[in-house]
């Protein structure tokens, strides 16, 4: 997804960008994601004054994932707000930036938005996908799905280094 910076910075009109992106390369190493549809990027780029171009919009898609507790397949809807600001400079490394400002300094006239979209997508993926908020997961002793039935296993685990203390409190 290419943005022509000079053309947009000198224009008064915003530019609408709509494109589906393949994110399979980005999620290749993730074991919890079993499949992904295209990530739809619906963006609006507009001049923000001072040679800055602001790109805002949403990223939407659907992922096939595995629940991190019970290992059941689930479908996760992605709806991410996207916002980046760009400023052109002949010497981007010499450009001093205020730490509070989130402006990306670019040297080229054409800016590829794909890496910024992929970064936003990755940062907004769930750390641990759950099929439901109160998923009980699998029993660590027998492997029974505790959402479906109770297995009756003793879940009390005592650290072997402190096992002798359990006899102390029984007296």
Q: Show me where the domains of the chain are located.
A: 2-135, 137-171
Q: CA nearest 35: which of 51, 48, 22?
A: 22
**Tens-binned pLDDT, residue by residue, of the chain (171 aa):** 888 877 777 777 888 999 999 999 999 888 889 999 999 999 999 988 777 889 999 999 999 999 999 999 999 999 999 999 988 876 655 444 545 468 888 878 888 999 999 999 999 999 999 999 999 999 988 889 999 998 888 877 778 888 788 777 665
Q: CA distances (Å), 39 to each of 31, 116, 125, in order?
A: 19, 13, 13
């Amino acid at each position: 997804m290419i943005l022509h910076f000079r053309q947009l910075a000198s224009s008064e009109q915003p530019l609408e960008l709509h494109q589906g992106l393949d994110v399979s390369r980005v999620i290749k190493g993730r074991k919890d994601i079993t499949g992904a549809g295209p990530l739809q990027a619906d963006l609006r780029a507009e001049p923000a004054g001072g040679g800055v171009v602001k790109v805002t919009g949403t990223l939407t898609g659907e992922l096939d994932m595995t629940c991190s507790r019970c290992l059941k397949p689930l479908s996760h809807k992605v709806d991410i707000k996207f916002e980046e600001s760009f400023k052109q400079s002949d010497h981007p490394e010499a450009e001093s930036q205020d730490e509070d400002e989130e402006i990306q300094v670019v040297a080229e006239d054409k800016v590829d938005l794909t890496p910024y979209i992929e970064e936003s997508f990755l940062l907004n993926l769930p750390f641990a996908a759950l099929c439901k908020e109160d998923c009980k997961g699998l029993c660590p002793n027998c492997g029974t799905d505790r959402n479906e039935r109770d297995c009756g296993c003793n879940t009390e685990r005592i650290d072997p280094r402190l096992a002798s203390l359990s006899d102390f409190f029984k007296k």
